[in-house]
Amino acid sequence: MEPRSRSFYILAAFFAVFIAFLYGPTVVIGVLSFQGAGGGLTFPMRGVSLHWFHELFEQQAVGDIWASFRRSFLLGLLVMVATVVISVMGGLAFRNRFVGSTVLFYVVIVSLIIPSILVSLGVGLIWSRAGLDVHWSTSGLGAQLTWTLPFGLLIMLAVFNRFDPSYEEAARDQGASSWQTIRHVVLPIIAPSLIGVALFGFTLSYDEFARTLLTSGSQNTLPLEIFGMTTNVTTPVLYALGTLTTGFSFLVIGLFLFVVWLVDDKRRKSGSDAGKGMA
């Protein structure tokens, strides 16, 4: 075995520092959330207990954590579904050039470089001027889609750019309609990518703050509620909330990865069964 070069150790050390910088604050919050009843917001810790997690499930004097969590969860699901459906439709449309396709592409992508707070302000003003109620499920949904749809469209463009059209041609030769081809050929092939777009849509929505700030109305989503708590709550109950929400985020990511594994496993088994049938 050849010895490692010096550059390898330098890169490994840089990566370790990067990981520590990325996850260090989260780990610190997790540790401080397990303080005793007399604990504060900084080290040193004063005992070890689950006291602040218990306090989290009690009635809070400031805000409504669990209602805001439900709103963020439902909004994330709405954004996820809308992002997947519209991104797939957009990816299919952009497979062929059409009048205004280049302009439309840049109009969609430019929302990524517009400051989020300006998008939130603009959407909120449009809703107010139109006489509509500013609400997290309407104006909030629209503002967040300006953030998730460009990512979803970029992913689907990359997917369809390397998609082999011979599969569709073979399906049409067998008499399949356009819808049957999409349903039984295209969608199963791109299923892992769809799961990735869904994960992007949900996670980007779940922790979005700026684009929801002026479009959620009188009912906060979870990021807005946490921000409000930072100005009023001075106990480790805030850290306990951060630990639980971080754990929930990892749980969601793990669930999506498990679904991807199930899809790939089913595809491998189907391919193996087809090969045995031909033999």
Nearest one of 114, 108, 106, 136 to 124, comparing CA atoms: 136
Parent domain of 276: 1-61+235-279
* pTM, to two decimals: 0.86
Q: Are residues 216 and 260 in the same domain?
A: no
Q: Are residues 217 and 108 in the same domain?
A: yes
Per residue in 207-249, pLDDT (tens digit) is: 899 999 999 988 999 999 888 888 877 788 889 988 999 999 8
The pLDDT > 90 percentage for the chain reads 50
Q: Are residues 111 and 212 in the same domain?
A: yes
Q: Are residues 73 and 175 in the same domain?
A: yes
Identify the CATH number of the domain in which residue 100 sits. 1.10.3720.10
Q: Are residues 272 and 168 in the same domain?
A: no
Q: Are residues 124 and 18 in the same domain?
A: no
Q: Which two tokens stand for residue 166?
A: 């011979």
Q: Are residues 48 and 90 in the same domain?
A: no
Banded pLDDT at 276 (limits 50, 70, 90): low
In the chain, how many domains are there?
A: 2
Q: Are residues 122 and 225 in the same domain?
A: yes
pLDDT given for residue 278 in this prediction: 47
SS (H, E, C) 125-184: HHHHHCCCCCCCCCHHHHHHHHHHHHHHHHHHHHHHHCCCCHHHHHHHHCCCCHHHHHHH
8 A C-beta contact, residue 119 and residue 146: yes
Q: Are residues 181 and 72 in the same domain?
A: yes
Q: Are residues 221 and 128 in the same domain?
A: yes
Q: Are residues 57 and 80 in the same domain?
A: no
Per residue in 79-136, pLDDT (tens digit) is: 999 999 999 999 999 988 888 888 999 998 998 889 999 999 999 999 999 999 999 9
Q: Which long-range contacts (CB under 8 A, 24 or more apart) does 63-68 make?
A: 63/220, 63/225, 63/228, 63/229, 63/232, 64/220, 64/225, 65/222, 65/225, 65/229, 65/241, 67/219, 68/219, 68/220, 68/221, 68/222, 68/224, 68/225
Q: Are residues 168 and 194 in the same domain?
A: yes
Q: Please provide residue 101's backbone torsions phi and psi, each rounded to the nearest 5 degrees.
A: -65, -40
Banded pLDDT at 62 (limits 50, 70, 90): low
pLDDT given for residue 141 in this prediction: 95
